[in-house]
Amino acid sequence: MSETRGMVLVPGGRFRMGCTGFYPEEQPVVEAEVGDLWVDQHPVTNAEFRRFVKDTDWVTVAEREPAPEDFPGADPDQLVPGSQVFTPTAGPVPLDDWTRWWRWQPGADWRHPEGPASTLHGLERHPVVHVGWEDAQAYAAWAGKRLPTEPEWEHAARGGLEQATYAWGDAFLHRGKVMTNTWQGAFPFERLRLFNGAGTSPVATFPPNGYGLSDVTGNVWEWTTSAWSPDHQGGAAGPGEHACCGPQVVTEADRKVMKGGSHLCAPSYCHRYRPAARQGQAVRSTTNHLGFRCVRDG
């Protein structure tokens, strides 16, 4: 019993994965089938991740010195542990240049989300961030769980609503209420507050979806085990993408599908706080808007 504490049993079945009308990578809509699945009610929190690290002494990707052979031509002085941190700009900037609002921050990691001087104080219930795909895999193995595939994640995020735009329906506001932690205001400088803070929010600050899952969209992106593909032309990721069959060895260049959008998604820039939305992420590229949740076969 206890091993499914904090999880929700999502009934499996066939569903239509993907979406038309937004971004090419979500197309075409394809049929997918998933089994019954226990899914974490919310993304893994800092408090939960801390228990894992205490137990295992795991050192995350962002805490390790990058290997020079993985970054040919890089200035050796730049090869220090660190991560990407979002920084709001002072005013409007061209939205085609993400380097305006992302900075490489030496010393940023899951314990120091804004850089060396920052702490997790008050962030215990926030999703863990600055975790790479291998960190998420290691946590899942420790917890006796695994990461979801893209179809599993999307099916669970839809909450039983076939082909709805959002995890709660087709309109962004639900009965006048904002349903998820995404960017409010003009990106990337005007951040209007939805809750007591800015950036990530405590898990379950916003209402859960139809399956009882919180923060499936918005707040933080979430890792899946599916290899990145530029669209659904080849169909839904098959069982070969499944993490069930022993450790997967990845290299610096591998990209995985991440799902759900984040607190940094704004309609003017990135309308990805939707179950169908997806992006490819290099497995060791960590940021302060990417976390994960785990699953277990039902």
Q: Is residue 277 within the footprint of Cu ion (CB under 5 A)? A: no
Distance CA 210, CA 216 (A): 11
Q: Is residue 145 within the footprint of Cu ion (CB under 5 A)? A: no
Task: Count Cα neighbours of 227 within 13 Å in the Cβ-side half-sphere.
Answer: 12
Nearer to Cu ion (CB atom), residue 44 or residue 277: 277
Select the span of 34-42, 138-146, 165-173, 262-270 touching Cu ion (CB under 5 A).
Answer: 262-270
Biggest CA pair distance of the chain: 54
Please give the single-letter amino acid code of residue 25.
E
Q: Is residue 167 within the footprint of Cu ion (CB under 5 A)? A: no
Query: Residue 87, exposed/middle/buried by CB under 10 A (0-12, 13-18, 19+)?
Result: exposed
Distance CA 256, CA 228 (A): 5
Nearer to Cu ion (CB atom), residue 18 or residue 188: 188
Nearer to Cu ion (CB atom), residue 167 or residue 265: 265
Q: Is residue 290 within the footprint of Cu ion (CB under 5 A)? A: no
Q: Is residue 263 within the footprint of Cu ion (CB under 5 A)? A: no
Q: Is residue 158 within the footprint of Cu ion (CB under 5 A)? A: no
Interacting residues of 113 by C-beta distance below 8 A, sequence separation 6+: 85, 120, 123, 129, 130, 288
**Using the 8-state DSSP alphabet, how is residue 128 labeled?**
P
Q: Work out the end-to-end distance of the chain between its first and last CA atoms, rounded to an integer number of angstroms.
A: 12
Nearest CA to 40 among 132, 160, 157, 124? 157
Closest approach of Cβ 89 to Cu ion, in Å? 16
Select the span of 25-33, 100-108, 126-134, 264-272 touching Cu ion (CB under 5 A).
Answer: 264-272
Q: Is residue 272 within the footprint of Cu ion (CB under 5 A)? A: yes
Among 167, 270, 283, 294, binds Cu ion (CB under 5 A): 270
Calculate the CA 134 to chain-centre distance: 14
Helices (H) then strands (E): counts for the chain:
3, 13
Q: Is residue 164 within the footprint of Cu ion (CB under 5 A)? A: no
Closest approach of Cβ 43 to Cu ion, in Å? 16
Q: Is residue 265 within the footprint of Cu ion (CB under 5 A)? A: yes
Q: Is residue 258 within the footprint of Cu ion (CB under 5 A)? A: no
Closest approach of Cβ 190 to Cu ion, in Å? 16
Footprint of Cu ion on this chain (CB under 5 A)? 261, 265, 270, 272
